[in-house]
């Protein structure tokens, strides 16, 4: 896993490093700026380019002055625009502005739109902008003069490299605060911030370079690590072991409930994905009115319960009870329907001693019935919910927009409050645990936005838990494998049009790539 740090904790680490550990802030800034200059120098043909560094008045700007001084020293054609009043310069910025000028650096000043207008001709001769306007100190939406400046930068189409975070992007949520610059590279200090991995922040950040600026372990470890990015190295180490002497009994038996007639394929997709993930056995419980199931694998055992054209009915719930026997866990929801009997079935599963994976209609039933939500909160065994933003909105009683504006808080608050695990699907899936840990999965692509994709993820997750993976590992691992498989197909076949069933089918190849070292890189 790669540690991620919120703006507040990064600022606290910065402060402790200076005040407790005794490393002066100027040294941190000198390191941040020099490393930024080096990375820019290594990634752009600066001999043929003119560079304009846009410095705000805070310490993000300070990093910009230092980077400019080094680039100047490496014979780059460089200017700096101080955007804002010189009176407002932070102490470290003021020092570094004067060092840059002493080294012969050229400065433009603008603190209002009129001054900006007069400079436009000069400014926009640049071939590259370095964005040192705002970093983790951004605390309100960008407007006025800064908005005009950023709008002009964006309209110029000139490439941007952002220091610490693209200006205008919220460090913790990735939301755009008023407006934001779009960078081809972001050079971030200390630790990556979650806002660089969450949309729209992720697509504004470009290639992310994490720079060690000397925050010592004794300071960073003072703060509990609650935010991480899932890495392929971590995933490889988590894959279920399969010893030579193993047999199917070692890899669990899943009970999967769903598949109402109009959506019976969902249950088949989930069951297929569970088998492709390596579970030992899977028993599918569907309404008898859904039989025969399309595309059924002979490996899937299936039981028809009382059902009608809409889904489960009559004695289906009570006839499910004997099927709980001997199972490792139950997964419910894919095409399950939200009728009265489906609710009764979910109640039985929540009251059972089986760990659960709840997806799709099972989540809608939780949102519809408060007493089922109470059963979820009281359940002792692991429960993993896998909502997309719409289902999350219904579960939390929020708007989809509010969920998407702060995905980590939405997922983490629900998981903490209900004592469950939660995978909030979407670009950069968030895996939240009931003890406050959040992992971000950046694998995956828009080609996954198609019916059936969630059913496959549900199956992969159930398959991993059936093999004994604990929920706090199985959830991020399932999302990682699912996204990696989809990326593999997008790379081999094209960015869209591949099918969720094909994502399940390519899982064995993904296991091979991960365990034998990736020959394939997107
Ligand atoms: N993380 C580290 O270890 C280091 C970080 N450094 C750099 O310092 C910035 C954070 O600097 P700070 O002075 O706190 O704030 P910013 O420079 O990000 O913001 C400047 C200033 O702007 C004001 N402001 C906030 N929002 C707005 C707005 N919408 N419009 C106008 N003005 C706004 C606010 O008062 C801010 O203070 C960090 O990102 C790193 O780049 C250290 O230099 C190196 C170590
Ligand atoms: K910035």
pLDDT tens, residue by residue, 432-466:
999 999 999 999 999 999 999 999 999 999 999 99
Counting residues of the chain whose pLDDT is more than 70, the rounded percentage is 99
Same domain for 209 and 151, yes or no, is yes
- Give the separation between CA 56 and CA 27, rounded to whole angstroms: 19
Task: Give the pLDDT of residue 291.
Answer: 96
- Ion ligand 2: protein residues whose beta carbon lies under 5 Å: 131, 162-163, 167
The CATH number linked to 103 is 3.40.50.10260
What average pLDDT does range 324-334 have in this prediction? 97
In a domain, 244, yes or no: no
The CATH number linked to 377 is 3.40.1190.20
Q: How far apart are the first and last CA of the chain?
A: 19
Task: Give the pLDDT of residue 516.
Answer: 86
Task: Give the pLDDT of residue 295.
Answer: 87
Same domain for 277 and 184, yes or no, is no
Same domain for 190 and 286, yes or no, is no
- Cα(141) to centroid(ligand 1), Å: 14
In this structure, what DSSP letter does residue 298 have?
T
Is residue 174 in contact with ligand 1, taking CB distance under 6 Å?
no
What average pLDDT does range 79-85 have in this prediction? 97
Q: Please say if the pLDDT value at position 520 is more than 60.
A: no
- Give the separation between CA 320 and CA 94, rounded to whole angstroms: 72
Same domain for 278 and 397, yes or no, is yes
Any known ligand binding at 114? Answer: no
Q: Please say if the pLDDT value at position 399 is more than 90.
A: yes
Give the residues across from 30 on adjacent strands. none
Residue nearest to atom 20 of ligand 1 (CA): 58
Lay out the sheet containing 2-3: strands in order across.
2-3, 227-229, 438-441, 429-432, 421-424, 383-385, 356-358, 329-332, 253-257, 281-287, 301-305
Any known ligand binding at 498? Answer: no
Q: Please say if the pLDDT value at position 473 is more than 80.
A: yes
Q: Are 362 and 346 in contact (CB under 8 A)?
A: yes
Strand-strand pairing, 356-358 and 329-332:
parallel
Any known ligand binding at 445? Answer: no
Q: 229, 262, 278: which is the final residue of a domain?
A: 229
In a domain, 522, yes or no: no
- Name residues whose C-beta falls within 8 Å of residue 365's C-beta, 6 or more positions apart in sequence: 336, 338, 342, 343, 346, 372
Residue nearest to atom 3 of ligand 1 (CA): 14
Is residue 36 in contact with ligand 1, taking CB distance under 6 Å?
no
Closest ligand 1 atom number to CA of residue 134: 18
In this structure, what DSSP letter does residue 284 have?
E
Residue nearest to atom 39 of ligand 1 (CA): 135
464: nearest Cα among 226, 235, 190: 235
Mean pLDDT for the chain overall: 96
- Cα(16) to centroid(ligand 2), Å: 22
Is residue 270 in contact with ligand 1, taking CB distance under 6 Å?
no
Degrees to nearest 5, angle at CA 140 with 139 and 144: 130
Same domain for 325 and 185, yes or no, is no
In a domain, 240, yes or no: no
In a domain, 234, yes or no: no
What average pLDDT does range 145-171 have in this prediction? 97
Closest ligand 1 atom number to CA of residue 61: 17
Residue nearest to atom 44 of ligand 1 (CA): 29
Same domain for 377 and 481, yes or no, is yes
Task: Give the pLDDT of residue 519.
Answer: 53
- Region for 106 from its dihedrals, namely left if φ exceeds 0, alpha if ψ lies in -120 to 50, beta otherwise: beta
Any known ligand binding at 172? Answer: no
Q: Please say if the pLDDT value at position 521 is more than 80.
A: no
Q: Please say if the pLDDT value at position 391 is more than 80.
A: yes
- Give the separation between CA 129 and CA 99, rounded to whole angstroms: 21
pLDDT tier, 122 (very low <50, low <70, confident <90, very high otherwise): confident
Q: And the tokens for 162?
A: 């952002």
Same domain for 197 and 263, yes or no, is no
Same domain for 284 and 402, yes or no, is yes
Closest ligand 1 atom number to CA of residue 142: 29
Structure confidence by residue, pLDDT tens digits, 415-436: 999 999 999 999 999 999 999 9
What average pLDDT does range 375-398 have in this prediction? 97
Number of structural domains the chain divides into: 2
Same domain for 196 and 265, yes or no, is no
Task: Give the pLDDT of residue 522.
Answer: 52
Is residue 136 in contact with ligand 1, taking CB distance under 6 Å?
yes
pLDDT tier, 247 (very low <50, low <70, confident <90, very high otherwise): confident
3 state SS of 419:
coil
Q: What pTM was computed for the model?
A: 0.94
- Cα(43) to centroid(ligand 1), Å: 25
Provide the residue range defining the domain that includes 331.
Answer: 251-516
In a domain, 263, yes or no: yes
Same domain for 187 and 108, yes or no, is yes
Is residue 29 in contact with ligand 1, taking CB distance under 6 Å?
yes
Choosing from 137, 149, 162, 183 the residue with most ligand 1 atoms within 8 A of its CB, the one to mutate for a pocket test is 137
Same domain for 424 and 493, yes or no, is yes
In a domain, 102, yes or no: yes
Q: 197, 229, 261: which is the final residue of a domain?
A: 229
Is residue 135 in contact with ligand 1, taking CB distance under 6 Å?
yes
- Give the separation between CA 520 and CA 522, rounded to whole angstroms: 7
In a domain, 73, yes or no: yes
- Cα(97) to centroid(ligand 2), Å: 17
Same domain for 290 and 374, yes or no, is yes
Structure confidence by residue, pLDDT tens digits, 296-314: 999 999 999 999 999 999 8
Is residue 90 in contact with ligand 1, taking CB distance under 6 Å?
yes
In a domain, 243, yes or no: no
């Amino acid at each position: 896993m790669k540690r991620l740090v919120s703006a507040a904790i990064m600022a606290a680490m910065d402060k402790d490093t200076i005040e407790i550990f005794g490393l002066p802030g100027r040294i941190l800034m000198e390191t941040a700026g020099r490393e930024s200059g080096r990375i820019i120098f290594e990634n752009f043909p600066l001999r043929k380019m003119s560079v304009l560094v846009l410095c705000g008045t805070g310490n993000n700007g300070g990093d910009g002055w230092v980077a400019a001084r080094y680039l100047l020293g490496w014979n780059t054609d460089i200017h700096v625009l101080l955007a804002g009043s010189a009176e407002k310069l932070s102490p470290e910025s003021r020092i570094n502005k004067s060092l840059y000028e002493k080294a012969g650096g050229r400065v433009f000043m603008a603190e209002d739109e009129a001054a900006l207008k007069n400079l436009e001709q000069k400014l926009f001769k640049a071939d590259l902008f370095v964005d040192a306007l705002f970093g983790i100190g951004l605390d309100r939406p960008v407007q006025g003069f800064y908005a005009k400046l950023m709008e002009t930068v964006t309209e110029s189409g000139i490439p941007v490299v952002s220091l610490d975070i693209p200006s205008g992007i919220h460090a913790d949520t990735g939301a755009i605060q008023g407006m934001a610059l779009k960078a081809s590279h972001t050079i971030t200090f200390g630790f990556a911030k979650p806002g660089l991995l969450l949309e729209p922040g992720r697509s504004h950040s470009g290639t992310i370079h994490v720079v060690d600026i000397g925050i010592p372990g004794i300071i960073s470890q003072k703060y509990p690590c609650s935010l991480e990015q899932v890495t392929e190295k971590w995933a490889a180490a988590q894959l279920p072991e399969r010893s030579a002497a193993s047999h199917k009994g070692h890899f669990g038996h899943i009970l999967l409930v769903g598949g109402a007639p109009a959506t019976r394929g969902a249950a088949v997709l989930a069951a297929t994905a569970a088998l492709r993930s390596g579970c030992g056995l899977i028993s599918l419980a569907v309404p008898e009115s859904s039989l025969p199931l399309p595309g059924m694998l002979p490996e899937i055992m299936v039981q028809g319960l009382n059902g009608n054209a809409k889904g489960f009915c009559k004695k289906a719930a009570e006839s499910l009870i004997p099927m709980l026997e001997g199972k490792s866990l139950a997964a419910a929801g894919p095409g399950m329907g939200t009728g009265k009997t489906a609710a009764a079935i979910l109640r039985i599963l929540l009251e059972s001693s089986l760990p659960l994976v709840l997806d799709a209609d099972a989540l809608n039933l939780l949102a519809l019935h408060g007493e089922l939500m109470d059963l979820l909160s009281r359940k002792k065994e692991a429960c993993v919910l896998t909502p997309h933003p719409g289902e999350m909105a219904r579960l939390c009683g929020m708007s989809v927009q509010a969920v998407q504006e702060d995905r980590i808080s939405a997922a983490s608050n629900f998981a903490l409050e209900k004592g469950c695990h939660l995978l909030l699907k979407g670009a950069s899936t968030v895996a939240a645990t009931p003890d406050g840990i959040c992992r971000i999965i950046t694998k995956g692509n828009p080609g996954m936005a198609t019916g059936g994709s969630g059913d496959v993820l549900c199956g992969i997750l159930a398959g991993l838990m059936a093999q004994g993976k604990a929920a706090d590992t199985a959830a991020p691992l399932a999302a990682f494998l699912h996204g990696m498989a989809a990326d593999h197909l997008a790379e081999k076949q094209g960015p869209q049009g591949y099918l969720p069933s094909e994502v399940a089918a390519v899982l064995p190849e993904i296991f091979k790539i991960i365990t034998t070292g990736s020959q394939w890189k997107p």
